Amino acid sequence: MNINYLRDFVILTKHNNYLEAAEELFISQSTLSKHIQLLEKELDVKLFIRTTRNVQLSPYGKEYLPYAEEMVSLYEKSVTELNQFKDKLLQTITIGAIPIMAPYGITQAIMDFRKMYPQTNVHVIEADSQQLMAILENGECDLAFIREEPKINEKLARIHFSTDHLVAVLPQSHKLAKSKRIMLNELSDESFLFLNKGTVMYNLSVTACREAGFEPTIAYTGKRAENILDLVKEGMGISLLMEKPISYLNSKGVVRVPIYPEIRTDINVYHAKTKEITPITKAFLEFIGE
C-alpha cells in the first residue's frame, strides 16, 4: 500500500474538495483523483460519495479513516525518528587497537563497519594493551581492541573478538625446530628476544617462563615483531610470540612450534562501564557482537 495514497485520502477528508486538497498536496486534481481511485481499487470499496462540487465520506470511508490517520501519523513519526537517529550517527567514533591489527581481523572489522555507516568518521588510536586501558579510562577513546591480561579491569565491559596461543619462534637450524610441540622448560638455557618490557607480551612470556621453573635470559627487547623474527633467523636467540601475527608475517628462516601446555590469550573489545555509550558506539558494539 502506497503511504502517499493514504495521506492524500486523509487530506481530502479534511477539505471534502479535490481542488483544495490538491493545492495543499501540491499535486493536480487529476493526480489526486487517480490516487484515490487506486486506493479504492486496492481496498475494494468506495471511500467517497461524489457530488457535483464536493465529496463526502462513504460509510466505508468513515470506518477506514481512523486507521488511515494512524498509519500516516506512524509513518511520519518513524521517518522523523529515523532522521534524528541518522543525525546522531553523524559523529566520530574513536577506536583504540593493539599494534597487531590485521592478523586478528581488526582492520577488516573497522573497514566493514565504515562501509555499513559511511557517514560516520572513524578515528583509530594504536597503542599497547596497557596504554589502551588507560586511554579508555581517561575517555580518550570510545572502545578498544585489547589483548586480555590476567588482571581484569572491573571498570571496563568487554566483548570477545578473537583467540590466539603462544608459540616458540626458533631458527630453522635449532635442535627443536622439528618438534610438534615444546614444553617451556626445554628452553631454559636459551637466550630470549622479547617485545618491550611492560607490554602484555613481555609480561606473559616472562611469567610463563617462571611458571615453567626458570628465569629467562633476555638478550633483546624491541617494539617490532619483524625485527625479533629477523634476529631469531640470524641466530641471536629465540622468542615467544603469538601464532596469528607470526603466521601473518610469514617470515622465512624461522619456525614456530606450539607451547605445551597451551598458553592462550583473548582479544576483546572493551568499553568503559561508566561512560555513556553513544549511538554510534552502540552500533559498533552490536556489529562486533553479531
Which residue, chain included where needed, has cell 623474527?
229
Q: Are residues 37 and 150 in the same domain?
A: no
Which pLDDT value is given to residue 211?
A: 95
26 and 65 part of one domain:
yes
Question: Is residue 97 domain-shared with residue 151, that is, in the same domain?
Answer: yes
Co-location of 182 and 201 in the same domain: yes
pLDDT at 63: 93
Rounded CA-CA distance 217/222 in Å is 15
Tens of pLDDT, residue by residue over 34-57, are: 999 999 999 999 999 987 678 899
Asked, for residue 117, whether it belongs to a domain, the answer is: yes
Q: What is the pTM of this model?
A: 0.66
Nearest CA among 130, 186, 168, 188 for reference residue 262: 168
C-beta separation of 150 from 266 below 8 A: no
Residues 229 and 258 in one domain: yes
Q: Which one-letter amino acid corresponds to residue 265?
A: T
Q: Is residue 22 part of a domain?
A: yes
Report the distance separating Cα 35 and Cα 22, nearest Å: 11
Same-domain check for residues 52 and 127: no
- Number of structural domains in the chain: 3
Q: Are residues 7 and 96 in the same domain?
A: no
Domain termination residue (choose one: 24, 46, 77)? 77
CA dihedral sign of residues 231, 235, 239, 243? positive
Positive or negative, the CA dihedral 20, 25, 31, 37 is: negative
Between residues 89 and 268, which one has the greater pLDDT?
268
Q: What pLDDT does residue 52 have?
A: 65
Tell me what pLDDT residue 151 has. Answer: 63
Grade residue 90 by pLDDT with cuts at 50, 70 and 90.
Answer: low
Answer yes or no: do 186 and 236 share one domain: yes
Whether 290 shows a pLDDT value over 80: the answer reads: no
Angle between the N-to-C axes of helices 279-289 and 106-116, in degrees from 0 to 180, rounded to the nearest 10: 120
Q: Do 275 and 138 share a structural domain?
A: yes
Structural domain boundaries, residue 181 = 164-264
| pLDDT in the model for residue 51 | 75
Do residues 29 and 73 both lie within one domain?
yes
DSSP for residue 87:
H
Give tens-digit pLDDT for 130-149: 888 889 888 889 999 998 86
- The per-residue DSSP string of 119-149 comes to TSEEEEEE--HHHHHHHHHTTSSSEEEEEPP
CATH number assigned to the domain comprising residue 272? 3.40.190.10
Nearest-angstrom CA–CA distance, 165 and 4: 59
CA atoms within 13 A on the CB side of 125: 21
Q: Do residues 184 and 253 share a domain? A: yes
pLDDT tens per residue, range 145-191: 998 865 667 788 889 999 999 999 999 999 999 999 999 999 999 99
